[in-house]
Amino acid sequence: MLKVVSRRLIQLFITLLALMTLIFFWLRSLPGGPVDALLGERATPETRERLIRALGYDEPIWVQYGHFLKNVVTGNFGNSIRTGEPVMDVIGRSFPATVELAVAAMIIAIGLGVPLGYLAARHRGRALDNATIILTLVGISIPIFFLGYLLKDWLTQSVHVFPPSGRISTGMDNTDVTGLFVLDGLLTREFDASADALWHLVLPAFTLATIPLAIIIRITRASVLDVLDADYIRTAEAKGLRNPTVRKRHVLRNALLPVVTIIGLQTGALLAGAVLTEKVYNWGGLGTLITDSISGSRDYPVLQALILLAAVVFIVVNLVVDLSYAVIDPRVRV
């Protein structure tokens, strides 16, 4: 087990190194180099010179690459071009918002997706099953930012059910502990703040959950159908076991194995959906940070760190999934 984990961690490190190296050299190879990309065409030669020296771009490329690697390893990504703050501070500030949104979305996707997929399989070919299939097909075919605007239009403009944007009402006096507003409210017993934050969370979380929800339903359904056809379910029936025992002990346990994989993949991919969702709801998390860093002049230091972070999350989640597999499926030996 330990050997596998360390081998995977080394693999992770190599992948990230390769990713960073690709980005580094790509940025340097842009026509005019990163400086032009940063300054645009309006820059005077003097500002150019100053920026080049400030960024150390006058040194040989291999020296620059060495500096770059050293900085990445020590977590020093430099300062944001847009705000001038250290990149790590900017990211640290936006991180909790996205974590809160992503956790809420996955709770919705798993909490609704697994039961719905299971029910659809049990009612194969009947109205419930067909309705679920159509719903999931639309779910993966709809641009989620459009769905976001649609929900916002219906539930915040036409009917005032949910707040249209932001994470918490202005004027709400909440104490920041973890940065996850719903959790903070519970921790500090400011329950009104917690409820308000939860209220703000509903629509963005549903929007972000759309694709993982649709995919989890489809995989669960297919997997349950597979298992229902399996010989060992026939054996369980031949034993005369009661229905709940057959379903819980024999059907669900086996059917959930492939679902775990897909949950992992979808969790890792949430950041992509968050970019779109956060823009719709003005959420102020990492997704917004990505959008801000690419709109207009590009904030490459921030962007670089965000890409690295996304890759780390994605790979680590997949590693966790693989390891959890070894726990829940006795056939897999790590």
| Contacts to other proteins from residues 37-96, by CB under 8 A | 37
With binding defined as CB under 8 A, does residue 26 bind other proteins? Answer: yes
Work out whether 146 is an interface residue with other proteins (CB under 8 A).
Answer: yes
Listed in sequence order, the residues at least 6 apart from 10 whose beta carbon sits closer than 8 Å to its beta carbon are none
- Selected from 60, 84, 143, 171, the binder of other proteins by CB under 8 A is 143
Q: Which of residues 4-23 bind other proteins (CB under 8 A)?
A: 14-16, 18-19, 22-23
Residue 123 binds other proteins, judged by CB under 8 A:
no
325 binds other proteins (CB under 8 A): no
Residues in a beta bridge with 86 = 79
* 69, 103, 183, 230: residue in contact with other proteins (rule CB under 8 A): 230
Spatial distance between the Cα atoms of 59 and 36, rounded to a whole number of angstroms: 17
Contacts for 97 with CB less than 8 Å, ≥ 6 apart: 167, 179, 278, 283, 284, 285, 286
Give the residue with the Cβ less far from other proteins, 189 or 333: 333
231 touching other proteins, by CB under 8 A? yes
Asked if 275 is part of the footprint of other proteins (rule: CB under 8 A), the reply reads: yes
Report the C-alpha gap between 169 and 238 in whole angstroms. 59
Contact 204, 281 (CB under 8 A): yes
Stretch in the footprint of other proteins (CB under 8 A) among 43-51, 72-80, 93-101, 227-235: 227-235
Cα-Cα-Cα-Cα torsion 212, 217, 222, 223, nearest 10 degrees, comes to: 80
Q: CA angle, corner 296, sides to 291 and 301, nearest 5?
A: 65
DSSP label at 177?
Answer: S
Output the smallest distance, CB 290 to other proteins, in A. 7
272 touches other proteins (CB under 8 A)? yes
Task: Determine if 268 is a binding residue for other proteins (CB under 8 A).
Answer: yes
Residues 171-200 within binding reach of other proteins (CB under 8 A): none
Q: Does 271 bind other proteins (CB under 8 A)?
A: yes
314 binds other proteins per the rule CB under 8 A? yes
CA gap 183, 281 in Å, rounded: 20
| 291 forms part of the interface with other proteins (CB under 8 A) | yes
Closest CA to 313 of 95, 21, 109, 108: 95
CB nearer other proteins, residue 26 or residue 191:
26
Q: With respect to other proteins, which residue has the nearer C-beta, 47 or 235?
A: 235
